[in-house]
Structure 1
Amino acid sequence: MSAFANLSGFQIGVAMGAASIISIGPNNLMLAREGLVGGRRGLVASLVAGSYTILVLLAILLAARSVTVHAIWQQALYWSGFGALTWFALQAFRTAAQRKSDIGGSDGGHESLQRCLFRVMRIVWANPLTYVELLLIPAAICQSLAGDHDRLSFAAALVIMSAICCYGYAYGGSLLARVLHGHQGIRLFDLLSGILLSVVLLCMVFNLVKET
């Protein structure tokens, strides 16, 4: 936490939120794809942003009660995240390889509201790295902050930046439709998503080997 020693809680929240915006992961890619296929952009972005807000609030509660997560559980989340990223990458490659991309699963014109809710919540809440990024790390940062004001301002900044991230990716994805046209464009996006997630996986493996 020494890198944040001279920053206020709000500044730390902004910095951490900005890092989430530029990071590549299943959640951000899902939001961008929603915009690309013209799905329920506002609903999906709101669901993800709301989920992030809940996790940040839980992080504050953990910090207030001085609850720490055992290293074994942290490692379990890390490895679970590795497995989840592998699955998401394979899914992206599988979808890209299909002759007819299953855009109905993300297209607001064909997908029921219930199915949309289930799909989005499954991706967000079944992704272990979501808990690492928005629960464990924020809780640790909150515990390192001196007062309640800094903790609350940190949480507020992180929630605001998370909302910007969600809506930015969802509505920014619609801009991709001007470049990636139709079915072939969606297949290309899925292929690129699989490649990007594979690169993230390789980075995780490299860091793990370096630590050992």
Structure 2
Amino acid sequence: AGGGGDDKKKKKKKARDAHDPEYVDALVALHSRSRSLVDTQFERDTAFQKAHGRAFRAVLSVEPECARTSGEQGNADVLACYCDHLLRKARAKLTQGELEASLEAVVAIFDFLADQDLFAEFYREKLARRLLEGKSTLDDEKFVVSSLKLRCGAQFTHKMEGMFNDLELGDDAMRAYSAEWTKAGKKKGGDGGGGGWRRRRGCRR
């Protein structure tokens, strides 16, 4: 039974690693060009804005080929994986401004997604993993969640924000414990356990 569980974990990891960002890159570029056309050439005419929205909702209602080949579950999972890719890997190659612009562009695409609650489930799962593994910065994570909160309200993001609160409370508790440990060690003339065990931060600031 244990071997079967390991196989499932390997398959999930392989599917995550197989994520190809080109599809979402193309979506973002298409949205940017078409939105610019509506805003400039059609002066944000209401009819064209509605048509633009309908077109993008129709696009996102179709499961892309990349989801079938990577094992991702539709556009909700694809967008969550793309955010994960940006926050884990791409941020090393981007300036802070470029990273935030890329994340904001994905959230703009999210506006047209029918199954936004499903996206939230996928996103929370990946967020928890990033926080535990220390694969992103807390400021970047909060930037995405704040953008989602502006669009969908506090109820949509309260579980994500709860993860941040839990992480920060844990860090505060460990700092207090470390301070007491050091204080007690100094009183005894020791090193306060300075060479002892330390909690590895779940997310770098």
Question: Structures share a fold, TM > 0.5?
Answer: no
Q: TM-score range by the shorter chain?
A: under 0.3
TM-score computed with the length of structure 1 as normaliser:
0.26
TM-score computed with the length of structure 2 as normaliser:
0.27
Give the structure, 1 or 2, with the largest relative contact order (CA under 8 Å, sep 6 or more). 1
